A and B are shown apart, each in its own frame.
Chain A
């Protein structure tokens, strides 16, 4: 096999575009099934009364990370052709702080706000409206923040490249870290 199909010419641009709603449908389906369309469940993560966000996020991350790693090792998927988001240290650190505050106050993130709204939750619509306003505010102030936005650019960089260790070692370390987190989550739940 020759993956990613979009990069190796296995499928044309139109065929790839048509997979987008199917992939999105499955994503939205599993988000809703897992309870991530409910703001109170999501906010519970920050008070350790409901650990669904942590469990879903990290089991999804682990599944995709291990799958991608082994498909690459077996020569099925060329990871060098999969788009790796570029690193901008300070904008991403500050963006994360603002985003975390918004997640806490809004109780939903961009993807889950769409799921909440689709299930009839009006607060999901509120978050969607706020997101559009926030993006607009960013765009309108772009002249002032462009310097910061483009600062501390390190390009497409992985944690393992940064630390000078093999990809396999990084994958193993994150797997162990996540498993320890799952164990910790079970411990927190037993104490309640």
Chain B
């Protein structure tokens, strides 16, 4: 099997992402996002299961639905995230990093890693809704615009991760 290519220098990757974010500001007047697209998908799913009238009337899902379809703002994020999946796939494929695997620490099994992945996702989904954004929409996009709330999010997010890291040591070390 061919050895995968080495990763790009993190600073170069960061400058690339910064240039992409700047392009988004210039073209679309908004930044990047990820959790917003998840919220749009859940709202669309709620409309499909519980009925459009219910989803459009519920305050949690209403902002993502206009006339029963996901709103244009949601659509921009959903299309953007679809692009993220394609870009990630293309990069991994061309670098020889594309293969089915479960990435886990040396002390746990793949099955335990899958439980942790879902649990972490649940916490992040709830937290990102409460914070009105995630690492993309708050930390990166809002942080670069000097949004006060974005910097509150950056500070509490990393403080929480570092404070809890000793408790989660078995997952990764």
Using a CB–CB cutoff of 8 Å, the interface residues on chain A facing chain B are: 3-7, 11, 13, 16-17, 19-40, 43-47, 51-52, 55-65, 67-68, 71, 76-77, 79, 81-89, 91-124, 126-140, 142, 145-146, 149, 154, 156-162, 167, 170-171, 174, 182
Contacts and interface: CB of A to CB of B under 8 A. Distances in A.
Contacts of B139: 57, 61
B82 interface: yes
B66 interface: no
Interface residues of B, number: 123
Contacts of B31: 64, 82-83
Contacts of A89: 149, 152
A98 B10 contact: no
Given A59-B14, A60-B17, A135-B42, A17 B75 contact: yes
B103 A129 contact: no
Interface string B80-113: 1111111111111001011111111100001001
B69 interface: no
Given A7-B29, A82-B30, A123-B104, A96 B153 contact: yes
B76 A16 contact: yes
A111 B84 contact: yes
A85 B124 contact: no
A82 B150 CA distance: 15
Given A55-B14, A96-B154, A101 B161 contact: yes
Contacts of A21: 79-80, 82-83, 86
Given A104-B168, A118-B88, A171-B146, A56 B17 contact: yes
Nearest to B76: A20
A135 B126 CA distance: 5
A188 to B, nearest CB: 13
Contact of B85 (A6, A102, A118, A127): A118
B97 A133 contact: no
B90 A29 contact: yes
Contact of B87 (A27, A51, A93): A27
Given A60-B18, A67-B22, A95-B127, A106 B85 contact: no
23 contacts: A20-B80, A23-B20, A24-B83, A26-B16, A27-B20, A27-B87, A27-B136, A59-B10, A61-B139, A64-B21, A77-B26, A88-B149, A95-B156, A96-B131, A99-B128, A100-B160, A102-B124, A103-B157, A116-B88, A122-B100, A134-B125, A135-B35, A139-B60
